[in-house]
Amino acid sequence: MLIEWLKVKVPPELREQYIQKDDEIWTPLLSNYSGFAGKEVWINPQDPTEIVMVIHWESQDGWKSIPAETLEETDRQFTQAMGQSFPFVEEGEYQVRKFMQRPA
């Protein structure tokens, strides 16, 4: 499993709108691709401007199968819906080596 990790800074008054639009625009697109395993949105309680998106992929092939043109068009739609651009301040890729599950 791979983790795509994205951090963005958003003014606190736009945070909920950003999360909602991300869920309406980006999440459905990603879920159409093989290997998409889920997404979490983290809010930093110490910094109301910080949002981290943790996207779970079954493989790098599934993640990287999204055409660049599709990503660019989706980003354009998201920027238009938000009325401005919010560049990522940090991006990362992590490999999950061990995943702890709770006993049933």
pLDDT in tens, 28-79: 999 999 899 999 999 999 999 999 999 999 988 888 899 999 999 999 999 9
pLDDT digits (tens, 9 = 90+) for 11-26: 999 999 999 999 999 9
Nearest to 2 by CA among 54, 67, 71: 54
Which overall architecture, per CATH, does domain 2-95 show?
2-Layer Sandwich (3.30)
Q: What is the pLDDT of residue 45?
A: 95
Q: What is the pLDDT of residue 55?
A: 97
Q: What is the pLDDT of residue 23?
A: 97
Domain residue extents for the chain: 2-95
- Evaluate if residue 102 carries a pLDDT over 90: no
